[in-house]
Amino acid sequence: LQLRLGPQAMVLRQRALPYAQQLFEGIQSALLQAPLCQLQTPGGHRMSVRTSSCGPQGWVSDERGYRYATAHPDTNKPWPSIPVAWQTLAIDAASEAGFNGFMPDSCLINQYTPESKMSLHQDRNESDFTQPIVSISLGMSAVFLWGGMQRSDRPSQVLLHHGDIVVWGGTDRLRFHGIKHLTGAPHSECGAMRYNLTLRRAR
Ligand code: MD5
Ligand code: FE
């Protein structure tokens, strides 16, 4: 059950479904150690998405810019480690989409509510763009914006549902993308919320 988004980008529909319960438990436990933050953008706005991370590198943002950091910005503690099951799932999904040798060192945890959105952007804070990115959707569905190589390219809209995994790399690695808004009914397990786990190689 695959949907091709581009030459080197793919949605693996329901790929994470068998692991959903385990993923939710892992998220709850990670968030106890590394609480969600509503980060400031370099432009001085507050993100509508709440974020945390696990792994050696966590993605953060403040008035100084976007970057990876080895500690949580509020607690100054190292991020919790990436659960082995998440690593395995992400590495397997990357292989299935044609990317062997994925070595994630960062997992961003994004929490969306019906008020959240993520504007079109590129993921370019990583040092090696030959490594793919793997993203796991849980909870409510979302309208995903799949853009081009320039911000001005009109994005297509793709629904992402609970259990879907998106893998993109190669020529699609620097596509503009975003989340327009959540859609559909609240989720039986996590209510009016969506979680997205984004596994990347930061360093
Ligand atoms: C999310 N997160 O669902 C989004 C989208 C982020 C971020 O973009 O940087 O935290 S998952 C990302 C995604 C999915 C499919 C393709 C591409 C990105 N892409 O082409 O870049 O929380
Ligand atoms: Fe992104």
**134-185 pLDDT tens trace:** 999 999 999 999 999 999 999 999 999 999 999 999 999 999 999 999 999 9
Atom 17 (ligand 1) nearest CA: 177
Whether ipTM tops 0.95, in short, is: no
- Indicate whether residue 161 lines ligand 1 (CB < 6 A): no
Break the chain into its structural domains and give their ranges. 2-200
**What residues have CB less than 8 Å from 161, skipping those under 6 apart?**
13, 14, 137, 141
- Indicate whether residue 173 lines ligand 1 (CB < 6 A): no
**3-14 pLDDT tens trace:** 999 999 999 999
- Indicate whether residue 50 lines ligand 1 (CB < 6 A): no
Question: Residue by residue, what is the 3-state secondary structure of the chain?
Answer: CEEEEECCEEEECCCCHHHHHHHHHHHHHHHHHCCCECCECCCCCECCCEEEEECCCEEEEECCEEEEECECCCCCCECCCCCHHHHHHHHHHHHHCCCCCCCCCEEEEEEECCCCCEEEECCCCCCCCCCCEEEEEEECEEEEEECCCCCCCCCEEEEECCCCEEEECHHHCCCCEEEEEEECCCECCCECCEEEEEEECCC
> Ligand 1 atom closest to Cα of 49?
22
Q: Quick one: pLDDT at residue 25? A: 98
**What residues have CB less than 8 Å from 153, skipping those under 6 apart?**
147, 176
Q: If you classify domain 2-200 with CATH, what class do you get?
A: mainly beta
Atom 1 (ligand 1) nearest CA: 196
Q: Quick one: pLDDT at residue 133? A: 98
- Indicate whether residue 196 lines ligand 1 (CB < 6 A): yes
CB 23 within 8 A of CB 139: no
- Mean confidence (pLDDT) of the chain: 98
**102-140 pLDDT tens trace:** 999 999 999 999 999 999 999 999 999 999 999 999 999
